Amino acid sequence: MTDIAQNAQSQLEALNQWVLEVARLTRPDRIHWCDGSDAENTQLIEAMLADGTLIKLNDATHPNSYLHRSHPDDVARVEHLTFVCTSQRDDAGPNNHWMEPEIARNQMKSLFDGCMEGRTMYVVPYCMGPIDSPLSRCGVEITDSPYVVANMRIMTRMGAAALARIEREGSFVKGLHSTGDLNPDRRFIMHFPEDLEIQSFGSGYGGNALLGKKCHALRIASHQARSEGWLAEHMLILGIENPKGETHYIAAAFPSACGKTNLAMLIPPEGYVRDGWKISTVGDDICWMRPGADGRLYAINPEAGFFGVAPGTSEKSNPNALASLQRDAIFTNVAVTDDNQPWWEGLDKRVPAIDWRGNAYDCNAGKPAAHPNSRFTVSARQCPSYSPHAEDAQGVPISAIVFGGRRASLVPLVFEARDWTHGVLVGASMGSETTAAATGAVGVMRRDPMAMKPFAGYNFADYFAHWLSFDNAGAKLPKVFHVNWFRKGEGGDFLWPGFGDNMRVLEWMLKRVAGEAGSIETPIGHLPKLDDINLDGVTLTDEAREKLFGYDRDGWRQEFAGIGEYLDEYGPRMPEALKAEQERIFSALKD
């Protein structure tokens, strides 16, 4: 036998053994190896329609589309129940909940004991990233949820091709998932990055249960990326083609429910379209980046579908998303109209008949009909703006990295970092108001470095050091920017129109990359002057102009004092260079 054949056989044996070991513990009635075929999917869907897990939507308006109503206590990620179990506590860092691996494994073992009795155990081989890309990585999720299987089929390259790659390759991420009894007291999402392992119990919700997404492609992958010299980030990737026909790619990190899907699918304002500007979508949530031979960062989207926020998605805000959702989509926790079409707040003026829990909708009760974190799952290939380069094995070269949060006050529309180290500080000091994507209070300002607070699989101090390490000889790094689409006026309204008009800010960024646009230098970075940004067709009040393009020195001094305190929470592991950058800016703000 050749070495390669021998390796393939031993990989397969390791996988088989693990599957049997899990089956001995969880005691399912049946084991089903998923091949990802249409026939298999049809069978799964039929079984879910029969037992009520799925409800068929209006076939005339939404062919092959389904509604899933989750348990009302299981509608979002659960950060307080999510753990990174490294052998050393400090390796997980103050940014993660930590448990000793041995204790976590024993606790999970007792939860998984017999939990699949009466159920089918599905073995789901998947590939994160194009099946032929050297940047992609594989995993296998074992789950007792057919809803998870149907979603994984849309969100990843699932089935036979992934299994073949696993047989060829050295390693895969092992993910074990059971919905258990959905009791929130028996719910844990455990990560063992040193062993490339995930164990998730007690939830069927997206980020907790579709293990390829946040658990693998962010927490495990970020840990792996650190030792292998790449980056696994909570970023969208989009392409911008200018009137000259040149395409630049931008990666942008915004926290959960802060605008990644919307920016990734942006349709430019009319004047831009007429001039020949085009936006293409590579990814809307996760970005894996690695330096190429030419020193630039090359990125792939490890996902194959979108698990997007439904509320706020409309023909006006995001026509590309709506067009993607015409068929073959799974909707989770949305409302339905009297003719059984999916509906959510912000979609249109119709009044829904049934709310997300399945009760008659009472429009006077003051409660939303769709859950604020209701979602759609759909293949990226159905998106009209899906980039022809989204499946390129070598990835796309990144010209700019954008950080952004939901900040009602202080933070202007856009500014540019002076250099890479400053850019890393801009990312590290990001703040944002919490959203419905995770359980807990909404609208509370918190530090969310690089939009990775819930997703970094290791100590943020080491993560920032890893980011800084990309600035080496030969590197041709992207420019770094910060945006805020969510600045509010005294009256509580958003001051910036957002959505398609965000194109104006993207254009300024590309001009900065090309050295063609002006700015004003301030201690926090380069801000555009009002006439550096094309505002043709946008009406802004005086308050909006001042707050979106101005800079409040006193407010920023306070902000930087807070950033200094935040960095200090990480103790001596925090890289000196980042602390020094913070101190430089803080003292410039005092002058």
Ligand X SMILES: O=C([O-])CC(=O)C(=O)O
- DSSP assignment of 370-429: S-TT-EEEEEGGG-TTB-TTTT-TT-EEEEEEEEE---SSS--SEEE-SSHHHHHHHHHT
List 40, 141, 285, 559, residue binding ligand GTP (CB under 6 A): 285
Measured distance CA(282)–CA(301) in Å, rounded: 6
List 143, 256, 280, 377, residue binding ligand GTP (CB under 6 A): 256
Return phi, psi of residue 231, to 5°.
-130, 135
Q: Choose the contact partner of 308 out of ligand GTP, ligand X, Mn ion, none; CB within 5 to 8 A by kind.
A: ligand GTP
Residue 247's contacts (CB-CB under 8 Å, 6 or more residues apart) are 239, 240, 241, 280, 389
Q: Mark 190-229 with x for binding to ligand X (rule: CB under 6 A) and - for no binding.
A: ----------------xx-----xx---------------
Query: Of 115, 258, 287, 383, which one is the catalytic site residue?
Result: 258
Does 239 participate in binding ligand GTP (rule CB under 6 A)?
Answer: no
- Core vs surface per residue 185-211: b (16+ CB within 10 A) or e: eebbbbbbbeebbbbbbbbbbbbbbbb
Window of 164-172, 251-259, 519-527, 534-542 that interacts with ligand GTP by CB under 6 A: 251-259
Instruction: Give the DSSP letter of residue 361.
Output: P
261 is annotated as contributing to ligand binding: yes
Sort strands 82-84 and 188-192 into parallel, antiparallel or unpaired: parallel
List 312, 395, 454, 575, residue binding ligand GTP (CB under 6 A): 312
Measured distance CA(288)–CA(235) in Å, rounded: 9
Helix (H) or strand (E) holding 300: strand 297-300
List 151, 178, 262, 387, residue binding ligand GTP (CB under 6 A): 262
183 is annotated as contributing to ligand binding: no
259 is annotated as contributing to ligand binding: yes
Q: Closer CB to ligand GTP, residue 345 or residue 462? A: 345
Q: Closer CB to ligand X, residue 77 or residue 407? A: 77
Q: Choose the contact partner of 79 out of ligand X, ligand GTP, Mn ion, none; CB within 5 to 8 A by kind.
A: none
436 is annotated as contributing to ligand binding: no
Q: Choose the contact partner of 481 out of ligand GTP, ligand X, Mn ion, none; CB within 5 to 8 A by kind.
A: none
Does 233 participate in binding ligand GTP (rule CB under 6 A)?
Answer: no
Pick out residues in 399-458 that bind ligand GTP (CB under 6 A): 437
Token readout for 238 is: 């989009």
Return phi, psi of residue 414, to 5°.
-160, 145
Does 489 participate in binding ligand GTP (rule CB under 6 A)?
Answer: no
Pick out residues in 60-99 that bind ligand X (CB under 6 A): 77
Return phi, psi of residue 277, to 5°.
-80, 140
Does 285 participate in binding Mn ion (rule CB under 5 A)?
Answer: yes
- DSSP assignment of 3-54: HHHHHHHHHHHHHHHHHHHHHHHH--SEEEE----HHHHHHHHHHHHHHTSS
Does 437 participate in binding ligand X (rule CB under 6 A)?
Answer: yes
Window of 2-10, 254-262, 273-281, 460-468 that interacts with ligand GTP by CB under 6 A: 254-262
In the chain, % helix, strand, coil (3-state, to 5) comes to 35, 20, 45
52 is annotated as contributing to ligand binding: no
453 is annotated as contributing to ligand binding: no
How far CA 437 is from CA of 342, 371, 374, 497, in Å, comes to: 20, 11, 9, 23
Q: Choose the contact partner of 207 out of ligand GTP, ligand X, Mn ion, none; CB within 5 to 8 A by kind.
A: ligand X
Q: Choose the contact partner of 284 out of ligand X, ligand GTP, Mn ion, none; CB within 5 to 8 A by kind.
A: ligand GTP
Measured distance CA(242)–CA(246) in Å, rounded: 6
List 320, 502, 532, 585, residue binding ligand GTP (CB under 6 A): 502
205 is annotated as contributing to ligand binding: yes
Q: Mark 286-315 with x for binding to ligand X (rule: CB under 6 A) and - for no binding.
A: ---------------------x--------
Neighbours of 580 (CB within 10 A): 12
Q: What is the identity of the amino acid at 582?
A: Q
List 167, 285, 391, 581, residue binding ligand X (CB under 6 A): 285
Q: Closer CB to ligand X, residue 136 or residue 256? A: 256
Q: Closer CB to ligand X, residue 229 or residue 443? A: 443
Active site residue 258: yes
Give the CA dihedral 400, 216, 106, 30, nearest 10 degrees. Answer: 160
Q: Choose the contact partner of 138 out of ligand GTP, ligand X, Mn ion, none; CB within 5 to 8 A by kind.
A: none
Q: Closer CB to Mn ion, residue 53 or residue 70? A: 70
502 is annotated as contributing to ligand binding: yes
Window of 26-34, 112-120, 252-260, 356-364 that interacts with Mn ion by CB under 5 A: 252-260
How far CA 88 is from CA of 98, 102, 194, 454, in Å, comes to: 9, 12, 11, 19
CA angle, residues 150, 153, 158, in degrees to nearest 5: 140
Sort strands 55-56 and 479-483 into parallel, antiparallel or unpaired: unpaired
List 93, 159, 202, 259, residue binding ligand GTP (CB under 6 A): 259
Residue 214 CB, nearest approach to Mn ion (Å): 7
- Core vs surface per residue 153-171: b (16+ CB within 10 A) or e: bbbbbbbebbbebbbeeee
Q: Closer CB to Mn ion, residue 375 or residue 422? A: 375
Report CA torsion sign: 496, 497, 502, 507. negative
Residue 535's contacts (CB-CB under 8 Å, 6 or more residues apart) are 504
Residue 284 CB, nearest approach to ligand GTP (Å): 6
406 is annotated as contributing to ligand binding: yes
Residue reference for tokens 């849309």: 154
Measured distance CA(376)–CA(322) in Å, rounded: 10
285 is annotated as contributing to ligand binding: yes
> How many residues line the site for ligand X (CB under 6 A)?
9
Residue reference for tokens 């790619």: 249
The binding site for GTP comprises 257-262, 375, 406, 499-502
- Applying CB under 5 A, the residues found at the interface with Mn ion are 256, 285
- Applying CB under 6 A, the residues found at the interface with ligand GTP are 254, 256-262, 284-285, 308-309, 311-312, 317, 437, 485-486, 494, 498-499, 502
The binding site comprises 77, 205-207, 214, 234, 256-262, 285, 373-375, 406, 499-502
The catalytic residue positions are: 258
- Applying CB under 6 A, the residues found at the interface with ligand X are 77, 206-207, 213-214, 256, 285, 307, 437
